[in-house]
Chain A
Amino acid sequence: ETGVTQSPTHLIKTRGQQVTLRCSSQSGHNTVSWYQQALGQGPQFIFQYYREEENGRGNFPPRFSGLQFPNYSSELNVNALELDDSALYLCASSVGLADGDEQFFGPGTRLTVL
């Protein structure tokens, strides 16, 4: 296993609600990235955090926000949920910021928005 954990495993919410997803990175990994994977698609980059600061962001609206904590844990927050937010949310940790660093993925949180 990768040593990256995510919680919860599954989650059901309704439109307009807010959700917080959690990730625990490998010890010593300073970078965490979050991805959204819709059914039949590849993971889409949401944003990346390095040492508790946002380091890059994909084409996602501001209602997607995140936090990274000194203890290698992180959160993805989504406000005003929409039906299209239903997807698998993956976090991935890596040692640093080098483009070639391997990313280790967690098992994901499957979010369903009704």
Chain B
Amino acid sequence: RKEVEQDPGPFNVPEGATVAFNCTYSNSASQSFFWYRQDCRKEPKLLMSVYSSGNEDGRFTAQLNRASQYISLLIRDSKLSDSATYLCVVNPGFKTIFGAGTRLFVKA
């Protein structure tokens, strides 16, 4: 079993759609969780940290369920510029584990 698993994708959605990404992790000792965004042939960039209480940043909402070892990212009102790969990231201490990423294509 992979340490971090994400929806394989790709997701193809029209502009304005709501899309949700799911991620599960295997190490119950993990303390920090993130979503990163990676554009084609570019470096990953932090989208948002994920907290147990859930957090929201504009159109983006992230949630963490420690009991189920599950992380989600919700994007509302999708824009063309949201097209990218979304990486789920877990830090169980002394190393950072990335999921394989989920590719999102937003179409006009």
The interface-forming segment of A13-21, A40-48, A68-76, A79-87 is A40-48
Across the A-B interface, how many residue pairs have beta carbons closer than 8 Å?
A: 49
Question: Which chain A residues (15-64) contact chain B, with CB distance < 8 Å?
Answer: 33, 35, 40-45, 48, 55-58
B100 touches A103 (CB 8 A): no
Question: Which chain A residues (74-114) contact chain B, with CB distance < 8 Å?
Answer: 90, 99-100, 102-103, 105-108
- Minimal beta-carbon separation of A90 from chain B (angstroms): 6
Q: A40-B100, A55-B94 are in contact. Are A105 and B44 (CB under 8 A)?
A: yes
- Give the size of the chain B interface in residues (CB under 8 angstroms): 20
A102 touches B46 (CB 8 A): yes
B98 touches A44 (CB 8 A): yes
B46 touches A48 (CB 8 A): no
A105 touches B45 (CB 8 A): yes
A107 touches B42 (CB 8 A): yes
Q: Which of B43, B87, B97, B100 contacts A106 (CB 8 A)?
A: B43
List of B residues within 8 angstroms of A43 by Cβ: 44, 87, 98
Q: Which of A33, A58, A100 contacts B32 (CB 8 A)?
A: A100
A107 touches B43 (CB 8 A): yes
Complex CA–CA separation, A43 to B98 (angstroms):
6
- Minimal beta-carbon separation of B108 from chain A (angstroms): 26
B96 touches A33 (CB 8 A): yes
Asked if B1 lies at the interface with its beta carbon under 8 angstroms from chain A, I say: no
Which B residues are closer than 8 A to A by beta carbons? 4, 31-32, 42-46, 49, 87, 91, 93-101
Q: Give the top 4 A-B pairs by smallest Cβ distance, nearest first.
A: A56-B94, A42-B98, A105-B43, A99-B32
Which A residues are closer than 8 A to B by beta carbons? 2, 33, 35, 40-45, 48, 55-58, 90, 99-100, 102-103, 105-108
